[in-house]
Each structure stands twice: as C-alpha cells, then as structure tokens.
Amino acid sequence: VSESLVSIVRYQPEADSVRRAVDLCRGLDRLPAGGRVFVKPNIVFWTRAVPFPKWGVVTTSRVVEAVVRLLKEHGAGQITLGEGMVLPDPKDEATPAHAFDYLGYGRLRERYGVRAVNVLRQPFQKVALGDGVELSFNREALEADFLVSLPVLKTHAQSLVSLGTKNLKGLTDIASRKKCHGPDPAQDLNFHLARLADWLPPCLTVIDGIYSLELGPSFDGRARRNDLLIASADILSADLVGAACLGFEPARVPHLALMARRRGRPTDLSDVKVAGLPVREAAVPHQYSFAYTEDGSLPLALKQMGLSGLSYRQYDLTMCTYCSALNLVIISAITRAFKGRPFDDIEILTGKVMKASPGKKHTLLVGKCIYQANKDNPDINDLKAIKGCPPSPRRVVETLRELGIEVDPYPFEHLDEVPGWFMKRYRGRPEFDESFFRID
Ligand code: SF4
C-alpha cells in the first residue's frame, strides 16, 4: 500500500519532523522485528585539514540521529551506518574515522549500539544488474534486512540530481564507481544509476533537505536553507518527488526516467500519492551546472572575463569522481592565472571519450583514460598528457606551466585545504548552522 506514498514535511527544530515524515509515508511498515538495518548517509567527501561547508553536501546528523531513534523504537536489531567517501587516498582510514567522530556517530554507538563502517575497508560482493552489468556492493548492505538511504536534497553536475538512488553508489567499490562512468554511450552513467537500487531489501528513503544544494554535489556548490524532508518506502517515488522539489520535471532526469521505465512506472507523479506539503509548495528551482559557451568550449564566466586562447570543454558523464575533484581545482587555478593575455591556443580534454579538435596548437589530456583515447590522434600537434589515474596534481602544475599558464601550485599541493575556501560564502549567515552536523 505504502509503495508510492511520499511525504513532504517542513522541518521544524522542535517538532520531531523526521518522525512525522516517516509516519506519513508509513516508511517503517516493512521493517522486520529485530532485523539488521543498514543506514547509508551521504558524506561524499571529508577533510581533516580545515572546516568546510557541509550544508547541502553531507546528511545532517540531526536527521541521522532521528532516523536511528525511530528505527530502534520500531524494533530494529543491529544498525550499521556505512559510507565510502571519496578521498584523495582511498586507503586513508583516519579521515573517515574523523568524519564519523565529528558527525557524532560515536554517540550513536553509545546510545543505540550503532556501528559506523568505512565501506571501502569492508568486503564487497558482485551483483548482476542485467545486460551484462556487474557492480560490487558492500556485502553487509546486501545482506541487511532493511536499508535506509539518507541522501541530501542536491543537484549533481552530471546526473542532474543526486538523491536516494544515486546515494547507493557510495556502497560500491572504486572499480564499480569507475565502471559507472564507462565510455559506452549505451551503458553510460544514467544506465548504471537506473539499476543501482535493483537489489534493495525493503527500504526507507529520507531525503534531507534541511539544506539543499545547487551546483552540487560537493562543497563548491551553493547551499540553501530549505527546511524540507521527503520520505518514502519506495526509493524511486522519493527521488521523483525530490527531483520535482529541486525544480526538475522528473521525466527530464535521465536516470530516473530510465529507472521508471524499467519498473513500468510513469514519471509524471500520477501514481504517487503525496502526503503533507504539496509538491508545488515545496518546489524551488535549483541550477545543476555552470553555464558554458554555446559551442561548449569554455565556462561562460571565463569567457565573460575575457579569457581566450583556451578551450576547456564541459566534462561529460565519463569523467569519474577522482578526475572531477581535480577538474574543479584546475579550472579555478587557470582562472586565477589569467592576467588578461590570451593563452597559447590550448585545448584541455577530460573523461574518457573526448576527441581533440583539429588545428589546436597544444592539447592537454588530463587522466589515463583520455590519454588512451587520444594518444594516437593525428589531429594533435603538441600532445601533453597527465597519464595517471587519478592524475597527479603535481604533474598538472608542471604541465600547465610548460604551456605558459602560470598556475599557483599551492592548491594542488594542499588539496585537502581547498574545501575550506568555500566557507567564506556562509560567514555571518546564522541559518548555516554547524551544529546540524554534531550530536550532543
Ligand atoms: S583517469 Fe579519471 S576518468 Fe579515467 S578512470 Fe581514472 S579517475 Fe576515472
């Protein structure tokens, strides 16, 4: 009965709003007594080096704690909280431990016996998702009796939105994450995302929209205080409504449209019953990506600054997270290095499938994949490549400087400090409250 029931609730600090959202959608009806529960918050990224904006990026501990409390009240057995964060060094154990400690998960252990696990250090198991696609998921999540997906209400530069389904990507191993960004257009990121939830046990999704995020999914996006909670026992329905609340027509979000088609569901919300606030009252338009020039060769803001002699095409769906993180630093370093003189006719390519444009003086290939795709390309005059996976930040600096772009090496040498630069956007704005990420 509760399959397509979705609740939308305005978050109010003193009103037990998470309970109301879960009750309204009958989200725990299928939680088996004593069942093992796996809870997947969205932490995406963390750094120990500096305070950084978590608003709209990381699931608030307020929501995590409220959900854990409800699970216990409803008779849940062992609860495991798990996330596989994207860090410069995937073997880094100290940073996830710091994140869990900072976010108050230790308190959840003391109070409710909750275990917090770094998914990337746990066993994985392959799951066949049809059409020859296999991804490896955290085994404990696969074996759970009940799963809770706790995404943030955010946009995503590649998948348009990142909600309950996309949040499950953090349960996969690194090889699977790279596979999701494969070069075959018939099996692209959206194709993989549309299958991510195929294996789920009974599930509750609570989309944490206390803060939402434009230009997501990470700390360089623009957070808003949105005070919204969206919940459902059906992950697709939650995501369709979540997308609508971010101002997207759900049919326009490719992975949700594909997922709906696979499940024989419409995308127009006609089979979804919304309890609580109507979508039209909750929806606020959110921008998901920076504007690019009409020919897609440069971010519009750079063009408007007068930057010329450079083509830095918009990333595509094949660029995976490790390259994306560096891409952000490269763009901002080039922007700072521009002193009004045109660059020397350089094209920068990323991802796995772009092909060099003929006639450019220099072509810079960032990452192993794009090097492989272009290393024998006869259209390239002067080939410069950073061949690693992930690409070496030091090599990026050296190569850009060889090409006459005098970037500051500091951010490349201190990648863990870059997120802190974005804190100034939120200074003096009390609605951006760090205490949402702590548990007393
Ligand atoms: S080089 Fe970049 S795009 Fe290629 S697999 Fe590595 S991170 Fe992904």
From the CA of 65, how far away is ligand 1's center (Å)? 35
* Residue 90: predicted pLDDT: 78
Please indicate whether residue 368, judged by its CB atom, sits closer than 6 Å to ligand 1: yes
Does residue 31 have its Cβ closer than 6 Å to ligand 1?
no
CB distance 182 to ligand 1 below 6 Å: no
How far, in Å, is the centroid of ligand 1 from the Cα of 255? 21
Q: Are strands 124-128 and 382-386 parallel, antiparallel or unpaired?
A: unpaired
**Which helix (H) or strand (E) segment is 20 a member of?**
helix 17-24
Q: What is the pLDDT of residue 217?
A: 96
Task: Report whether residue 320 contacts ligand 1, using a CB cutoff of 6 Å.
Answer: yes
Ligand 1 centre distance from Cα of residue 289 (Å) = 21
Does the beta carbon of 27 sit less than 6 angstroms from any atom of ligand 1? no
Residue nearest to atom 8 of ligand 1 (CA): 320
Structure confidence at residue 337 (pLDDT): 97
Q: What is the pLDDT of residues 346-381, one digit of tens each?
A: 999 999 999 999 999 999 999 999 999 999 999 999
Residue 63: its H or E element:
helix 61-73
pLDDT score of 352: 97
Strand pairing report for 146-150 and 134-138: unpaired
Q: Exposure string (b/e) for 111-141, b if CB count within 10 Å is 16 or more? A: eeebebbbbbebebeebebeeebebbbbebb
- The list of the chain residues with pLDDT below 50 reads 1-2
Which amino acid residue places its CA nearest to atom 4 of ligand 1?
Answer: 369
**Does 319 contact ligand 1 (Cβ within 6 A)?**
yes
Taking only the tens place, the pLDDT of each residue in 66-111 is 999 999 999 999 999 999 998 878 789 999 999 999 999 999 999 9
Q: For atom 2 of ligand 1, which residue has the closest CA?
A: 323
- Chain CA centroid to CA 307, Å: 30
Whole-angstrom distance, CA of residue 245 vs CA of residue 7: 12
Q: Whose CA is nearest to atom 6 of ligand 1?
A: 389
At residue 3, the pLDDT reads 55
Per-residue DSSP letters for 195-250? TTTTT--SEEEEEEEEEEEES-SSTTSEEEEEEEEEEESSHHHHHHHHHHHTT--G
CA of 346 to the centre of ligand 1 (A): 21
Residues in the chain, how many? Answer: 440
Pocket test for ligand 1, best of 181, 327, 350 (most atoms within 8 A of CB): 181
315 ligand 1 Cβ < 6 A: no
